[in-house]
Structure 1
Amino acid sequence: MITASLTDNVEYNEKRPAIKVLLDTETGKEIRIAFKEGQVMKEHKTPFPIVVEIFEGSIDFGVNGEVHTVYKGDLLSLEGNVPHDLKALKDSIVRLSLNKADTAKRVEDVAKS
């Protein structure tokens, strides 16, 4: 068994969303993205389907140019190759579930841009 916590040792980056791989298993990856209010991840897409959970806070989640405000407890899924962007409306913790073939580095690169 492998365990991880979305809330232990949360570190926010003042300049960009903070990315941390919590689990890397045979079937997928679980990533925590910690946003300070106002931080964004510019429009990007992934080649694989994803699932996003808003664990804390609220996010404006743009999909194909249409903005959806999502709140603590909300889940959403996207197929691969769908353009999307995120903006934190307040300090937020987002859980991102990735396909095993996807990489955490890709997510980190999006957060840096």
Structure 2
Amino acid sequence: MKKTNILENLEYNENKVLITPLMETEISKEIRIVFKKDQIMKEHKAGYPISVEIFEGEIDFGVDGNIYNLIKGDIVVLEANVKHDLKANADSIVRLTLSKKDTVNRVKGVLKL
């Protein structure tokens, strides 16, 4: 068994989105992404399917030119190579589930785009 808490050591940063690895399992990597209101992650894509859960807050989630307003409790799944972007409409906590084959560094690299 493995255990983590998405709220442990939680920090909001006025200057940048914060990405924190939470846990790695045999099949996935769990990541916390913390946004202050109006922070963004520019358009990007993952080479493997992902799942995104809005744990707290509200996010505009752009996919293929459409904007979806996601709120606390919403979960979306994207297939591999689907371009998407995120903008926080409020201070927000997002749980990102990656394939075991994907890397946390790729996600952190999105902030440098």
TM-score bracket, normalised by the shorter chain, equals over 0.9
Alignment-derived partner of residue 103 in structure 1: 103
The letter for the 2-side match of 1:100 is K
Which sections of structure 2, spanning at least 5 residues, go unmatched?
A: none
Residues of 1 paired with 2:62 and 2:89: CA distance? 13
Residues of 2 paired with 1:112 and 1:16: CA distance? 10
For these two proteins, the number of residue pairs brought into alignment is: 113
Alignment-derived partner of residue 38 in structure 1: 38
Secondary structure of 1:112's aligned partner:
coil
Which sections of structure 1, spanning at least 5 residues, go unmatched?
A: none
Alignment-derived partner of residue 62 in structure 1: 62
Q: Is the 8 Å Cα contact of residues 53 and 75 (structure 1) preserved in structure 2?
A: yes
Residues of 2 paired with 1:16 and 1:108: CA distance? 11
Alignment-derived partner of residue 9 in structure 2: 9
User: Which of structure 1's runs of 4+ aligned residues deviate more than 4 A?
Assistant: none
| Matching of residues 15-94 of structure 1 within 5 Å | 15-94=15-94
Residues of 2 paired with 1:91 and 1:53: CA distance? 14
1:9 to partner: Cα distance: 1.0
Q: Is the 8 Å Cα contact of residues 16 and 112 (structure 1) preserved in structure 2?
A: no
The letter for the 2-side match of 1:64 is D
Residues of 2 paired with 1:15 and 1:82: CA distance? 27
Residues of 2 paired with 1:39 and 1:112: CA distance? 13
TM-score by length of structure 1 reads 0.97
Residues of 2 paired with 1:28 and 1:54: CA distance? 18
The letter for the 2-side match of 1:94 is V
What is the CA deviation profile of residues 35-90 of structure 1, one whole-angstrom value per residue up to 9, with x for unaligned ones?
Answer: 00000000000010000000000000000111000000000000000000000000
Secondary structure of 2:4's aligned partner:
coil
